Amino acid sequence: MDSSILIESLAEFAKNKNVDRPTMIRILEDVFRTMIRKKYEVDDNFDIIINADKGDLEIWRFREIVDDNSEDIWDYDKISLSEARKIEPDFEVGEEVSEEIKLLDFGRRAVMTARQTLIQRIKDLEKDLLYQKYKDLVGEMISAEVYQILGREVLLIDAEGNEISLPKAEQIPKDRFRKGDSVRAIIDRVDMVNGNPKIILSRTSGEFLERLFENEVPEVYDGLITIKKVVREPGERAKVAVESYDDRIDPVGACVGMKGSRIHSIVRELQNENIDVINFTDNMELYIARALSPAKITSMKIREEDGRVSVFLKPDQVSLAIGKGGQNIKLASKLVGLEIDVFRELSELEEEDVDLDEFSDEIDSWIIDELKKIGLDTAKSVLALSQEDIVRRTELEEETVKHVFGILSQEFDKD
């Protein structure tokens, strides 16, 4: 193979792979030096000159001329006088011989191997460049086009034709995609799978919601409003705590927009996810009260030693605090970083409560202890919550909780 054809074809291949010229020349030189070492054992006395634009390749070998009887005659950078004069008849001892080595001198098989090695090196470099590019973009939002829908993931193509994955677990449950759809998501991570970079997107992370706010709310993008924390049940509900360092800016109002204009586009993107935007505050009691919105709290008791807070509400507010499927209280707990226990406030007219220890003959003590761990020490406090909520908050099984509810309910059904 002619060296100019080899260089030109590889240069074109590298260009198509977005490999810059200096990097291309460095890779070519590395591969040719490997060829030299295989044939001559060393490459210290060789110069490689490459002009990728013209397809030129020159390989020069330099050796010092020594007398035929010299002890140094076998050194790699030495040549005997008799051998040197075969190249140029008027050479003398002490002079330097520069000899051009043609590519075909290495043999056709070595040249073909070098070509394959070069192609593989460029492909590996392309993978490394792709990995580094997206590694630096983790957490950023991008748009990509759907080109294949599989059972466990949706494959997309970015603007440069790179394949990107949106796994089922990172999709909003209500997401439905078709080939050709433009999809927005954040770059969640970049994994190496069998030597190939796999770019993973996410539409379920809190960061995706943050990027959407930055995109829709100029004050967030400019840093005038800070998003302190985001918690989500993807596609169902989210709570976003925001703060402004400028007293003239209402962070909640700015994020929601006039008549909800800003928040509506975010809600649509998230498949009608209900988004609560609340003012962040260092006052923990006020923060908890805001987090449990729309429920109105009567009083609360924070137990920082075990990371829990007991909140007391009027009976008609309990279901609002817990929310559909326990979503409101679950998200509020994540937002404030404390496990919230909800209790119904008893009025003076309501019948007296009964301590759980009074039921020790009917309910095992370990079950009573488990209920006490979440602040439930009376019959009324247990019955104020749903069975599902107690199962979620304790180590008790559904049948056990149902049995306890039956016993406690009988106590208040007596005439």
Give residue 410's pLDDT band: very low, low, confident or very high (50, 70, 90).
confident
Give residue 16's pLDDT band: very low, low, confident or very high (50, 70, 90).
low
In this predicted structure, what is the pLDDT of residue 148? 94
Tell me what the pLDDT averaged over the chain comes to: 87
Please report, for residues 198, 338, 347, 360, 368, the alpha-carbon distance to residue 373 in angstroms, rounded to integers and kept in the order given.
44, 14, 25, 16, 9
In this predicted structure, what is the pLDDT of residue 140? 94
The more confident residue out of 335 and 104 is 335
Give residue 349's pLDDT band: very low, low, confident or very high (50, 70, 90).
very low
Give residue 52's pLDDT band: very low, low, confident or very high (50, 70, 90).
low
Token pair listed for 379: 């019959």
Which residue in the block uniquely carries the two structure tokens 């034709």? Answer: 161
Kindly write down the DSSP assignment for every residue of 126-139, as one continuous string: HHHHHHHHHHTTTT
In this predicted structure, what is the pLDDT of residue 332? 95
* Span 80-95, average pLDDT: 89
Give residue 253's pLDDT band: very low, low, confident or very high (50, 70, 90).
very high
* Span 149-167, average pLDDT: 92
pLDDT tens-place string over residues 222-239: 999 999 999 999 999 999
In this predicted structure, what is the pLDDT of residue 415? 44
Show Cβ contacts of residue 391 under 8 Å, excluding neighbours closer than 6 positions: 397, 398, 401
Above 90 in pLDDT, residue 290?
A: yes
* Span 109-124, average pLDDT: 81
Show Cβ contacts of residue 27 under 8 Å, excluding neighbours closer than 6 positions: 14, 19, 118, 121, 122, 125
pLDDT tens-place string over residues 322-331: 888 889 999 9
Bond into 251 cis (ω within 30): no
Where residue 42 falls (left for φ over 0; alpha for ψ -120 to 50; beta otherwise) is beta
> Among candidates 202, 199, 224, which has minimal Cα distance to 213?
224
Give residue 4's pLDDT band: very low, low, confident or very high (50, 70, 90).
low
Token pair listed for 191: 């994994």
Above 50 in pLDDT, residue 348?
A: no
pLDDT tens-place string over residues 206-226: 999 999 999 999 999 999 999
Report the sign of the C-alpha dihedral through residues 99, 102, 108, 110, in that order: positive
In this predicted structure, what is the pLDDT of residue 128? 85
